[in-house]
Amino acid sequence: MNIAQLLPIILLVLVFYLFIIRPQGKRRREFLDMQGKTTVGSRVMLTSGIFGTVNALNDETLTLEIAPGVEIEAHRNVVAKIVEPAAITDDAPVDDAPVREADQRPLDEDGKA
């Protein structure tokens, strides 16, 4: 067989490696690193979109507090990302518009102002 006949196959394997196998391995490593950084007290988002704070960690599961007094147990693989606390800035818009007297009138029996 001639090397010129094998060149398209070699190029196809190389392209397949560069565009599919290598990025998938990188995503897998990042996912495992993120799972390793998950600790008790971390705020996380699950793949289902549920946000919560990690209260307990086991080898395969974690316990999340999604509301005060409401805890759920989930598999560790469903953690999509660790949520960083948003920085509070003083640049937030404030609604200081004056209230008109017409807006404060009581409603009548029909529910009209």
What are 51's strand-pairing partners?
45
d(CA 76, CA 81): 11
pLDDT digits 0-9 by tens, 46-69: 999 999 999 999 989 999 999 999
Name the least confident of 1-5, 7-11, 15-19, 31-35: 1-5
CA dihedral (43, 44, 50, 55) positive or negative: negative
Interior angle at CA 59, CA 25 and CA 73, nearest 5: 105
d(CA 86, CA 49): 17
pTM of this structure: 0.57
Q: pLDDT band at residue 87, thresholds of 50, 70 and 90?
A: very low
